[in-house]
């Protein structure tokens, strides 16, 4: 199974007076990287959010925006008695200095002064299991939407990859067909060059020397092992595309191995026909590399 690393998913839920909205966006990255924006006061949930995302997304840069809104009620506020007492005493002192002894400040008016009304601590709210249940549900819904988009794009990529693998398989077949012809052709050309030079000197070619030189060349240009490994990598590549688990990292590794075997074939073969095939193979592998680097 192949997933694109690029995708978007969103979800919104409401339960009573609490609403949660989640937006997820992913782009390319060789590793998992999270950028999380969470409503102030709910930082206690950050480890849980990251853990949930990591269990679903193996690699890529993930931008997550989690907004939490909660209706306030009377329990969220409290009167700071110390501040009220301070205001009360200061007003009595001022009244005494102004000769207004006996004037008692009205408490309801004191409630409008700065610092009298405090917002209750949010720790209990933040850490409550009911809040996490709502956040987790919204996250999972956004992840489902994200994965659906990534899967759809991944399926399109997989079809394109299989087309390129078919081209590589054809190229490898052409190289395999040409490879056995290299040594005999080299022997013929070498023999012609040597005979041309030796005829001018009235010398005779020693077949044993020619045979030895041809054998050494054949050993140096033998690419049979590289072809076998290359074809094996192609089979593994196809198999990973058909598995249910994500295979981006494995395909990335196999792409590197395909390129390595191709370079070795080109370096060892020393043949214009194979060089032409190698150039084509490297172009196709580069297309594959760009795609699998955007895949999970």
Q: In whole angstroms, give the CA distance from residue 18 to residue 222.
A: 71
Cα–Cα distance for residue pair 284/179, rounded to 1 Å = 21
Question: Mean pLDDT of all residues in the chain?
Answer: 82
- Strand-strand pairing, 32-38 and 60-70: parallel
More confident residue, 212 or 9: 9
* Candidates 1.20.950, 3.30.230, 3.30.70, 3.40.1350; CATH matching 7-73+123-149: 3.30.230
Position 90 scores a pLDDT of 85
pLDDT band at 8 (very low <50, low <70, confident <90, very high): very high
* Among 88-102, 210-224, 260-274, the least confident range: 210-224
Percent of the chain that is helix, strand, coil (3-state, to 5): 65, 15, 20
> What φ, ψ does residue 220 adopt, rounded to 5°?
-70, -35
Domain residue limits, the chain: 7-73+123-149, 81-115, 153-292
Note the pLDDT tens digit of each residue in 78-116: 778 888 888 888 888 887 777 777 667 777 777 778 877
Say how many C-beta atoms besides its own lie within 10 A of residue 164's C-beta: 17
Residue 122 pLDDT greater than 50, yes or no: no
Q: Is the pLDDT of residue 161 over 60?
A: yes
Q: Around Cβ 168, how many Cβ atoms within 10 Å? A: 21
Confidence at residue 178, expressed as pLDDT on a 0 to 100 scale:
84
Structure tokens at 246: 């994500």
* Torsion angle in degrees (nearest 10) through CA of 10, 14, 15, 19: 90
Average pLDDT (197-211) is 57
Contact at 8 Å (CB) between 64 and 49?
Answer: yes
| Mean pLDDT, rounded, for 23-39 | 92
């Amino acid at each position: 199974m192949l997933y694109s690393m690029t995708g978007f998913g969103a979800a919104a839920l409401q339960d009573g007076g609490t609403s949660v909205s989640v937006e997820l966006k992913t782009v390319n990255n060789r590793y998992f990287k999270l950028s999380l924006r969470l409503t102030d006061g709910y930082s206690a949930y950050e480890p849980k959010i990251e853990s949930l995302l990591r269990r679903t997304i193996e690699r890529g840069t993930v931008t997550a925006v989690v907004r939490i809104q909660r209706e306030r009620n009377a329990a969220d506020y409290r009167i700071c008695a110390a501040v009220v007492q301070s205001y009360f005493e200061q007003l009595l002192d001022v009244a005494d200095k102004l000769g207004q002894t006996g004037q008692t400040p009205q408490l309801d008016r004191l409630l409008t002064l700065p610092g009298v009304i405090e917002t209750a601590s949010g720790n209990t709210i933040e850490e409550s299991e009911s809040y996490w249940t709502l956040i987790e549900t919204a996250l999972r819904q956004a992840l489902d939407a994200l994965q659906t988009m990534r899967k759809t794009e991944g399926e399109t990529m997989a079809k394109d990859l299989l087309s390129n693998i078919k081209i590589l398989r054809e190229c490898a077949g052409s190289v395999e067909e040409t490879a056995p012809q290299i040594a005999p052709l080299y022997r013929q050309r070498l023999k012609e060059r040597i005979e041309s030079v030796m005829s001018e000197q009235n010398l005779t070619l020693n077949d044993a020397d020619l045979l030895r030189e041809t054998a050494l060349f054949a050993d140096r240009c033998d690419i049979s092992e590289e072809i076998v490994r290359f074809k094996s990598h192609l089979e593994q590549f196809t198999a990973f595309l058909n598995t249910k688990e994500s295979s981006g990292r494995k395909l990335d590794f196999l792409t590197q191995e395909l390129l390595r075997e191709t370079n070795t074939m080109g370096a060892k073969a020393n043949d214009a026909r194979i060089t032409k095939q190698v150039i084509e193979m490297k172009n196709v592998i580069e297309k594959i590399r760009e795609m699998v680097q955007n895949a999970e």
